[in-house]
Amino acid sequence: MYTRIYILRFPKDIVDQPIICQLVKQFDVEFNILKATILPQHEGVMILELRGHRENIKKGLSYLKGLDVKAESIATSIHRDDERCFQCGACTGICPTGALALKRPEMAVIFDAEKCSGCGLCVTVCPVKAMEVSLDRISGFSESAFDVH
Ligand code: SF4
Ligand code: SF4
C-alpha cells in the first residue's frame, strides 16, 4: 500500500463538485481529508492523504489534472519540532525512505528533510506530534484559514 499527502487546489468553477469521491469509485484510491478550505477568491484547497496502489494513485492524480486541479506533494512541508521530539525512535521503524533514522552510536534520531517523500506516516505515528505538516509554508495559507476535518 502506497501513501502520500498532497495539497490540491481546485478552480472555483468545480469547487462544489464531489470530484474526490471519484478517486474511490474509479481508481480504488482511499482518501482522508486532513484540512480543507475555500479561499476568498473561491479557489478550493484541500490537504489530502491518498492510499492505494501506486499506479492507481497516479491515475487518480491524472484524472484530477484533467479537471484542472493542481496537486503537489507536501514532502517539502514536513518538519520536526525538535522541542517536542524526545527521541523515542518510533518514527524510524515506519519511515520508508530513511529520512528518519537512528544515528549510532549516539542513538539519536536524525531527520533528513532531503530524503522525505511526504508519505505522512511519521505524522500519524509520533506520540507527541513532533512531526508536522507546516501549513504556513504552503503559499496562500495560514493555519487559521483551515477548517479542521
Ligand atoms: S516518533 Fe516523534 S518523538 Fe519519537 S523520535 Fe520520532 S519525531 Fe521524535
Ligand atoms: S519523514 Fe519519512 S515517514 Fe515522515 S513523511 Fe517523510 S518519508 Fe514519510
Tens place of pLDDT for every residue, the chain, 149 residues? 888 888 888 888 877 788 899 999 999 999 988 878 776 667 888 888 899 999 999 999 999 999 999 888 876 678 899 999 999 999 999 998 899 999 999 899 999 988 887 888 898 899 999 998 776 555 544 433 333 22
Residue 123, H or E segment:
helix 121-125
Instruction: Write down the architecture of domain 77-133 according to CATH.
Output: 2-Layer Sandwich (3.30)
Q: How far is CA 121 from CA 39, 56, 65, 66, in A?
A: 28, 19, 25, 28
Atom of ligand 2 nearest to the CA of 78: 5
* pTM more than 0.75: no
Q: Which ligand is nearest to the CA of 81?
A: 1
The cell for 141 is 495559507
2-73 and 77-133 agree in CATH topology: yes
The set of protein residues with a Cβ atom below 6 angstroms from ligand 2 is: 78, 94-97, 99-100, 116-122, 131
Ligand 1 centroid vs 109 CA: distance in angstroms?
8
Q: How far is CA 60 from CA 26, 28, 31, 56, 115, in A?
A: 8, 9, 11, 6, 25
What is the rounded CA–CA span in Å between residue 133 and residue 79? 6
Residue 45, H or E segment:
strand 44-52
Instruction: Domain 2-73: state its class.
Output: alpha beta
Every domain of the chain and the residues it spans: 2-73, 77-133
Atom of ligand 2 nearest to the CA of 123: 4
Q: How far is CA 73 from CA 61, 63, 77, 87, 117, in A?
A: 11, 16, 9, 26, 8
